[in-house]
Amino acid sequence: MAVLIIFFAGILGTSMMTVFSHMLELVTKEKLNEAHLLNGLIDKAKPTNYEVNKNHYFGWVIHYAIGLCMASGLYAYYFYIAQEINIWKGIILGFILGVIGIAGWSLMIGIHANPPKINWNFFFVQLMVAHIIFGMTVTWILARFVF
Instruction: Give per-residue pLDDT as tens, 37-96.
Output: 999 998 888 676 778 888 899 999 999 999 999 999 999 999 999 999 999 999 999 999
* Residue range 138-147: mean pLDDT, rounded: 96
CA distance 131 to 138: 10
- Do residues 71 and 10 make contact, with C-beta atoms less than 8 angstroms apart? yes
Give pLDDT tens digits for 87-131: 999 999 999 999 999 999 999 999 999 899 999 999 999 999 999
Burial class (CB in 10 A: 0-12, 13-18, 19+), 64: middle
Give the residue numbers spanning the domain of 107.
Answer: 2-145
Q: How many domains does the chain have?
A: 1
Q: What share of the chain is helix, strand, coil (3-state, %, to 5)?
A: 80, 0, 20
* Residue range 121-144: mean pLDDT, rounded: 98
Q: pTM for this structure? A: 0.94
Count of beta carbons in the 10 Å neighbourhood of residue 32 = 24
